[in-house]
Amino acid sequence: MIILAGMIGVGKTTYTSKLAKALGTEAFFEPVDNNPILDKYYEDPDKYGFALQIYFLNKRFKSIKEAYEKDNNVLDRSIYEDALFTYINKLQGNISQEEYAIYLELLDNMMEEMAGMPKKSPDLLIYLDGSFEHIMANIEKRGRSYEQPTADNGLLDYYKLLHDHYQGWFEDYDHSPKLRINTDNLDIHRQEDWNTVYQVITEQMKALGLDK
């Protein structure tokens, strides 16, 4: 099991798709396109912040259980990141301290359930890093209207706060081996760039004995 991690807009879905295809295995994606709460959250984060994080946590846990039943797979976000997003929402006042405590208790219960599964943690976490400017350009390029920051919606502050905290999150992550890839100067739609990325990943897999 390989998990992609990183900031909104850094490219997790694209990397997940290409990596799963190259490895001949199944990809599991974050529920975005059919998410009934996501666009509402961007319109009114105070009202939908807690509901969104519970929705993601529930769907993520379901995906992980499905993935654990397979021999090999790639997931495009980890359950370990969910607490970071919830914390950022708490910092911004979108989630109350009481809601945050409920969320953490539920997450702890889920992690205890995971401890009883055949695989306790990912075999490798790949962290996609990128400058704030690069990520904002990606968000603008993919064109989801509800993701676009304006002078009134506060999204720029949200993205900046999230980006500032991701580095510490990655440094503290200790559930599995981890690999950082800086995406700023990479366009993996170009075969040359993808070959470079894939070589780095497969070399790490070989070092961990995951290429067998």
Given this model, what pLDDT does residue 33 score?
65
State the Cα–Cα distance between residues 208 and 153, nearest whole angstrom.
Answer: 44
Could you tell me which of 3, 5, 57 has the C-alpha nearest to residue 169? 5
Residue type, position 87, single letter: Y
Domains of the chain: 2-207 (3.40.50.300)
What pLDDT does residue 67 have?
Answer: 80
Whole-number Cα distances in Å, 125 to 80, 103, 174, 176, 182: 10, 23, 10, 7, 14
**Pair 179, 105: CB distance under 8 Å:** no
* 93, HSE (Cβ side, Cα atoms, 13 Å): 2
Q: Catalytic site residue 187?
A: no
Q: Show the low-confidence residues of the chain (pLDDT under 70).
A: 31-33, 118-120, 212
For 85-104, how does the pLDDT look when each residue is reduced to its tens digit (9 = 90+)?
Answer: 999 999 999 999 999 999 99
Q: Which two tokens stand for residue 54?
A: 């519970």
Q: Name the catalytic one among 71, 76, 164, 184.
A: 76
